[in-house]
Each structure stands twice: as C-alpha cells, then as structure tokens.
Chains A and B, each alone.
Chain A
Amino acid sequence: MTAAAVSGTLLETPLTPSRLGWLRDRGMGASVLVATLAAAFGVFLVEVTVYIGAMLKADPEIGESGTLAVVVAILSVLLTGVAMYVAAIVTANTFATIVAGRTRRIALMRLIGASARSQRAEVARQGLVVGMIGAVLGFAAGIGVSAAGAVIGGAVLPHPPASFSLLQPGVVFPVAGVALTTWIAAWAGSRRVLVVTPLQALGGSADRSHEEVAARPGRHVGALILLVGGALLLAVGVVLGLANPLGVVVAFFGGVLSFTGLSIGATLVMPPVLRLVGRLFGSGPTARLAAENALRYPERSSRTAIGVVMGVTLVTMFAVAMESAKALLLRQTTGDDADIYFAPMDAFASVMMVLVAISAVIASVGLVNLLTIGVVQRRRELGLLRAIGLTGRQIRLMVLLEAVHITVAATITGLVLGVAYGWIAAQSLLGSLPVMPDFEPAGLVAPAVPWVPVAAIVAATAVLTLIASVTPTRLATRVAPVEALAAD
C-alpha cells in the first residue's frame, strides 16, 4: 500500500515535465496575473502621461508651461514603482510557496545529483519566463486600455491633442521592469531551495509544522534604522512646515524611508498586529484554529499583509491629506465659493485613490495565493479535522476567517499609517499658511479624516477578502476526511 502510494505521488509530479508544463503548477498562473496587472498599469500610466503632456500643449491657455506635465510624470513613476514593488513582494511570496510545494521533487533531484544552485537557478529562470509572459500580456492590455482611453478622451475633452501615438518608447520601462522584477522576486523567493536535503526524498519526513524563521538580525537592524530615521525626518518635516512649506520635502523623504523600513521589517511589525486581531476572534475552536493558522508561517502572512497595508495606507493618505489641506485652506477664506475652489482637488484625490487601489488588487492576488497554498499544504490536516468532527461549513468558515484575519490586521495598520502620513503631508506643507482671522500661521491642526473614503476602503477590502477566499474555501471543503488516513 505504501509503495503504491509513493509511486502514485511520483507519477503525479513527473521529473521531466514538458518544457512549459511547470506553468500549470499552482501559483504560476497567479504570478503571471500579478506581472500582467503591474505591466498593464505601468504601460497605461506612461500613455496617460504622454497624453496629458500633449493635451496641455494643445491647450491655448496653459500652452508651453511644462510644470504640470512634469508633476504628472513624477506621479506616474511613483505609482508604477509602488505597483511593481507590491507585485514583486507578491511574486516572491508565491515562489516561496511554490518551492515549498515542490520540496519532494527538488529533494529527489538533489538525491540523483543535481546541485542546489542549479535547482534554484531553474526556479529563477521560471520566474523570468513568468515575468516575460506577464510583461507581454500586460503590454497588450495596457495598450488596449490606453487606446480605448484615447478614443474616449478625443470625444470628451475640450482640447484633445492634435496627434497622439500609442507607440511611446517610454512603455519599454514598465514592460522590461516587470519582467526583471519578477525574475529577481522569483530568485529572492526561492531561497528555501538551498535548504532542501536529498534525504527529504526518502519519505517519512514529517512536515515541518512551523517555519523555522532564520533569524536575520542584519535585516531587522536595517529596518529599524529606516523606521527610526524616517520617523525623525517626518517629525522634522512637521516642525519645519510650521515655518516653511518646504517642510513637505523633508517629510516626503521621511515617509519613503519609514515605509521602506516597514515593508522590509514586515515580519517584525505584522505578527504582533496579527496576534492582536486573532485574539479579537474569540475562543471558538474554528476561530482559534484560523487565528493560529495565520501565524503558522509568520513571514509569509506578514508579507502578504504588507501588500494590503501599502494599498490601504496610500489611499488613506491621499484622502486624509486632501481633507486636512481643505480644512486648513478653508480657514483662509470666508467666501462661499469653497466648493468650486476644491472641486479640482477632490477630483485629483479621487483619481489618485483609484490608481493606488490597483496595488491593493495586486496584493489581494497575493492573498488568494497565501490561502490556496495554505489549503494545499495542509490537506492532510484538513482531512484530519474533517475526520474528527469539523463540518464542511466549519472548514469553510475557518479559511474565510484566515483571510479576514490578514485583511483586518492589514486594514487597521494601513488606516493608522495612512492617517498619520496624510496628516503629516498636509501639516508640513500648509502649517505655515496664514489663516483667518488675523493671518497668523496655522500652527498644528488636528488631522481631518474624511469618513466616506475610509468607509469605502473598509468596504473594498471586505469585498476583496470575500473574493479572495472563494477558491481557497472551495478547495478546502473538497478535502475528503479519508485524506488524513493516506500514508504518503
């Protein structure tokens, strides 16, 4: 029986798959999707930037002044960068889990004589292929969306650009960038290939129930330095901002540094938050199992969560910054034309929020991966739970709660950070603004939190969570209790 089972698993994972057969492995499709989204987003932003530049030229009033075009270009680069960064994190995570799923096969190759380095190089090469496929698909999608946008723009805008070509050389950057970052992310995510031993092919090796997170103090120190340094710069920016609007520049770099520190140190910051949220779930068996599961691979969960944190933080930041700025500016005027005055600002904030939300969508693909791999890797455990008395409904609830756990922790973190960053942005930019009634500088003001966007963010993450957990919950309920008994 045992021999039959072993040969069975080997047959399912052929040692010499067809050249691109590995693309059907679980997780590869999601990686392609992530790369596609990031590339399409980048291509679209390049096109928009060029289009707006051309449009401004066509506008008789704005004419040759290039300032606005430069601002749009900088924003495009920043937004593409954020999307690619989130995509790279998701991809690295996905490849780490793909490697975990392939441990047996890698061990067998090592047993036969393959070197760990060559095995890792193969995984990275697959990452490059995935990145290139995603880049090409994303290029096509981005061009398609841009073409549609240009047609709509031509019909709606008062001053459409006279000539606009979709063939912009700039699109090379996001396309090549996505292929490269996917490659690098796959390489980074395949680190665990190096610790697979040939012995693991010989069966009997019990699953390691807890990921042994290799202590990497260097990394944590770096993250802490970035966090502390960034926080200091943020504080300096606020203080400077009381006298001079240029405080926002200092604060900007503080924001970039501290946020980078946060994402590098995700494994430092997120587990306590996850633990706290897990405790809110109560003490029912399903909730407790779900809460423990989210912390089983703290590194994986934290990185998945940080992707969502980024999206939520940036959206919240724009909303809070705009609202706080509005509150400050309102104190400058007494007129009733405030609404007209603020309409372009509101429009700008909405557009930015929608654009930033793309990273949240990419992050939610990461959530799907996390949950799916979590289910696939513990089929036996799910079978066991079914055998000793967990109903299908309880299993479904458990997987859903795992998703909720991650997104609730990420949303709370993102909202807190976003309010802080947004307030600092407005404060450091407008703190020196003279306000009514006697035109003294505004000084410190409380952050203004616009509740409608915040409610929209919470609702959107709730919807993303539900969508992300559809496939994993279905997979989990399909596990038969008999699987717990199968000896492998």
Chain B
Amino acid sequence: MEITTSDLGLAARVQHLTKTYGAGEGAVRALDDVSVGIRRGQFTAIMGPSGSGKSTLMHIMAGLDAPTEGRAWIGDTEITGLGDVELTVLRRRRVGFIFQAFNLVPTLDALGNILLPFELDGRRPSAVERARIDGLIETLGLGKRLRHRPHQLSGGQQQRVAIARALATAPDLVFADEPTGNLDSATGREVLQLLAAASRDHGQSIAMVTHDAIAASHADRVLFLGDGRIQADHPRQSAEQIAAYMLAAEVAA
C-alpha cells in the first residue's frame, strides 16, 4: 500500500512535478522534477526570483493548473487527473486562497465574502464553524466592518476579510500569493503576524509565495526555488539570512 500524504505529516505534496510551456525550440520548463511536501500545521514560505517557478508550483498544488508530468495531492486526495468540477468542489471545501490584490467580491459585504465558500456549497455554517468564524472575526478585528462593502474598506481591512474567508472553512491548506504585496509595511506586518498566529495557535497549514525576505521571515520554513527546482529548504530564518541567501543565489546565477 502506498504511503499517504497524512502518514508523512503533510497537508499537500507533489512528486516529480514537471511543467513545460510551449513546445519544441521555444519550450520553457517552469518546473523541473520537483518533489516537495507542505507540512501540516506549518507556515511555509516559497521564495524565489521572477521566473523561478514558484507561482507555477503553487497553482498546481492548489489545483488551479495541471502539471505536464508528475502527481500532486491535497491531503490524501490525488488531484492530478481530477475533473474540473471535482477540483472546484475540492478547492471550495479544502483549500483557502489569499491574493495580493485582496480579491473580494465587490458586490458582497464583508460578511457575505467570508461566508461565500459555505454559500457556494449550498449550506449554512454549522455551530462549530459559526463559532470558528466568530472567533476569526474577533481576532481580525472585523466586528464593526461586517456590513461594509470592499470599496468602503482599507487595503489592510480587505486583506483581513480575505484571510477570514480563507480560514473560515478550516481548509487543509491555505495558499497566500504575495499577501502583503499591496500593503504598507506596518499593515503587511500585521497580516503576516495574523497568518503566523493562525498556524501556531490553530494548526492551520499555510503556504505563502513571496519574494519579500521580511515576509518570509515570519514563516516556520522557507523553500527556495530557482530555475524550476527546489534549491534550498531552510527552517525559520531571519530576514537578513534570507536576503543574504537570495542575493548570493542571484549573484551566482
């Protein structure tokens, strides 16, 4: 019997992942035989320069894109080969997303956005989930903003709503794509502390793609990608250490 993802203590993993764009002479290999797992309950940062393949890796891990070769799992579910509807339902129930551009639905108020994954599933949150959401709203300080539309909220507030939405279903894994990219540094730091706290206090598995060394310094683990491969896998590091590694890698390349 095959070893499952959860046996390994992982929330998601990929095996021998290759992704090629185009064909023939002009083919670009965005990912080159990548095998890696995101540990359950950890806050993992995926770093790398532009074109390193970090976004592609995240897209495939989250079931948003299909690999050219290799396999991917979320929890114990293999997602490579799943149909569009199955993938959609899987994302709805078991994956959370936080984006750089906040990406709230502008026609829904804050609460409507937070509850959207449940509504899409055609159900109301259970008592346990309701308590969880109330806790999130309190932790994120959104209590007074629930009836506001996104355009009435500041960037930091919008990102908090997005975090609440991503965490509301207690997904197997939350993907964050440059979550602080559009925020000022103080607001960005708050957002990162909230993510770190979600992981530390509630065992939420989070994978964050970033090229910001300060953002990555909040993570428990830092993966470095370069040229479509995992170049390094470090435990928690300071921003200086991360920046120094990145600089050295860029100079060497």
- Given A388-B117, A485-B59, A485-B99, residue A208 in contact with residue B151 (CB < 8 A): yes
Q: Please tell me if the beta carbons of B88 and A285 are within 8 angstroms of each other in the complex.
A: no
* Cα of A4 to Cα of B50 in the assembled complex, Å: 9
Contact residues of A with B, CB < 8 Å? 1-4, 204, 206-210, 284-285, 288-289, 292-293, 295-296, 380-381, 384-394, 480-482, 484-485, 487-488
- List of B residues within 8 angstroms of A2 by Cβ: 181
For chain B, give the interface size range: 35 or more
Q: Please tell me if the beta carbons of A389 and B117 are within 8 angstroms of each other in the complex.
A: yes
**Is B150 among interface residues, defined by CB-CB distance under 8 A?**
yes
- List of A residues within 8 angstroms of B181 by Cβ: 2, 487
Looking across the interface, which residue of chain A has its beta carbon closest to that of B86? Answer: A391
* Cα of A339 to Cα of B165 in the assembled complex, Å: 67
- Given A292-B107, A482-B59, A482-B65, residue A388 in contact with residue B89 (CB < 8 A): no
Q: Please tell me if the beta carbons of A390 and B88 are within 8 angstroms of each other in the complex.
A: yes
Q: Please tell me if the beta carbons of B64 and A289 are within 8 angstroms of each other in the complex.
A: no
**Is B103 among interface residues, defined by CB-CB distance under 8 A?**
yes
Looking across the interface, which residue of chain A has its beta carbon closest to that of B94? Answer: A389
Q: Please tell me if the beta carbons of A289 and B84 are within 8 angstroms of each other in the complex.
A: no
Looking across the interface, which residue of chain A has its beta carbon closest to that of B85? Answer: A391
Other than the known A204-B182, A387-B62, A487-B181, what 5 A-B pairs have Cβ atoms closer than 8 Å? Answer: A2-B181, A295-B107, A384-B103, A389-B117, A394-B120
**Is B145 among interface residues, defined by CB-CB distance under 8 A?**
no
**Is B92 among interface residues, defined by CB-CB distance under 8 A?**
yes
Contact of B116 among A210, A388, A481 (CB under 8 A): A388
CB distance from A197 to the nearest CB of B (A): 17
Looking across the interface, which residue of chain B has its beta carbon closest to that of A5? Answer: B50
* Cα of A367 to Cα of B62 in the assembled complex, Å: 36
Q: Please tell me if the beta carbons of A389 and B89 are within 8 angstroms of each other in the complex.
A: yes
**Is B5 among interface residues, defined by CB-CB distance under 8 A?**
no
**Is B81 among interface residues, defined by CB-CB distance under 8 A?**
no
Q: Please tell me if the beta carbons of B84 and A391 are within 8 angstroms of each other in the complex.
A: yes
**Is B232 among interface residues, defined by CB-CB distance under 8 A?**
no
23 residue pairs of the A-B complex, CB under 8 angstroms, read: A1-B50, A3-B50, A4-B50, A4-B51, A204-B182, A209-B106, A209-B151, A285-B122, A288-B119, A289-B107, A380-B103, A381-B106, A384-B97, A384-B105, A386-B88, A387-B97, A388-B120, A389-B93, A391-B85, A391-B89, A392-B88, A393-B85, A484-B99
* Cα of A390 to Cα of B89 in the assembled complex, Å: 8
Contact of B84 among A207, A295, A384, A392 (CB under 8 A): A392
**Is B121 among interface residues, defined by CB-CB distance under 8 A?**
yes
Contact of A296 among B65, B107, B121 (CB under 8 A): B107
Q: Please tell me if the beta carbons of A289 and B88 are within 8 angstroms of each other in the complex.
A: no
Contact of A391 among B58, B88, B117, B149 (CB under 8 A): B88
- List of A residues within 8 angstroms of B119 by Cβ: 284-285, 288
CB distance from A289 to the nearest CB of B (A): 7
Contact of B64 among A385, A387, A390 (CB under 8 A): A387
**Is B108 among interface residues, defined by CB-CB distance under 8 A?**
yes
* Cα of A385 to Cα of B122 in the assembled complex, Å: 15
CB distance from B188 to the nearest CB of A (A): 14
- Given A384-B99, A388-B120, A391-B84, residue A209 in contact with residue B107 (CB < 8 A): yes
**Is B178 among interface residues, defined by CB-CB distance under 8 A?**
yes
Q: Report which residue of B107, B122, B182 has the largest number of chain A beta carbons within 10 angstroms of its beta carbon.
A: B107
Contact of A390 among B58, B120, B182 (CB under 8 A): B120
CB distance from A333 to the nearest CB of B (A): 58
Contact with A along B77-109 (1 / 0, CB 8 A): 000000011001101110001011101011110
* Cα of A289 to Cα of B85 in the assembled complex, Å: 20
Looking across the interface, which residue of chain A has its beta carbon closest to that of B105? Answer: A381
Find residues 118-145 in chain B having any chain A CB closer than 8 Å to their own CB.
Answer: 119-122
Contact with A along B48-84 (1 / 0, CB 8 A): 0011000100110010110000000000000000001
* Cα of A1 to Cα of B58 in the assembled complex, Å: 15
**Is B172 among interface residues, defined by CB-CB distance under 8 A?**
no
Contact residues of B with A, CB < 8 Å? 50-51, 55, 58-59, 62, 64-65, 84-85, 88-89, 91-93, 97, 99-101, 103, 105-108, 116-117, 119-122, 149-151, 165, 177-178, 181-182, 211
Q: Please tell me if the beta carbons of A1 and B120 are within 8 angstroms of each other in the complex.
A: no
* Cα of A487 to Cα of B120 in the assembled complex, Å: 25
- List of B residues within 8 angstroms of A4 by Cβ: 50-51
Identify the 3 closest CB pairs spanning chains A and B, nearest first.
A389-B92, A209-B106, A292-B107
Q: Report which residue of A206, A209, A285, A389 has the largest number of chain B beta carbons within 10 angstroms of its beta carbon.
A: A389
Looking across the interface, which residue of chain B has its beta carbon closest to that of A378? Answer: B106
* Cα of A2 to Cα of B178 in the assembled complex, Å: 11
* Cα of A204 to Cα of B122 in the assembled complex, Å: 35
- List of A residues within 8 angstroms of B59 by Cβ: 482, 485
Looking across the interface, which residue of chain B has its beta carbon closest to that of A384? Answer: B103
- List of A residues within 8 angstroms of B106 by Cβ: 207, 209-210, 296, 381
Looking across the interface, which residue of chain B has its beta carbon closest to that of A210? Answer: B151
* Cα of A204 to Cα of B101 in the assembled complex, Å: 9
- List of A residues within 8 angstroms of B122 by Cβ: 284-285
- Given A204-B182, A206-B101, A285-B116, residue A389 in contact with residue B121 (CB < 8 A): yes
* Cα of A391 to Cα of B150 in the assembled complex, Å: 23
Q: Please tell me if the beta carbons of A1 and B107 are within 8 angstroms of each other in the complex.
A: no
* Cα of A380 to Cα of B59 in the assembled complex, Å: 15
Q: Report which residue of B85, B99, B100, B108 has the largest number of chain A beta carbons within 10 angstroms of its beta carbon.
A: B99
- List of A residues within 8 angstroms of B50 by Cβ: 1, 3-4
* Cα of A390 to Cα of B62 in the assembled complex, Å: 15
* Cα of A295 to Cα of B151 in the assembled complex, Å: 16
Q: Please tell me if the beta carbons of A289 and B55 are within 8 angstroms of each other in the complex.
A: no
- Given A389-B89, A391-B84, A487-B178, residue A1 in contact with residue B55 (CB < 8 A): yes
CB distance from B61 to the nearest CB of A (A): 12
CB distance from A32 to the nearest CB of B (A): 32
CB distance from B77 to the nearest CB of A (A): 15
* Cα of A288 to Cα of B121 in the assembled complex, Å: 14
Contact of A484 among B55, B103, B151, B178 (CB under 8 A): B103
* Cα of A288 to Cα of B150 in the assembled complex, Å: 17
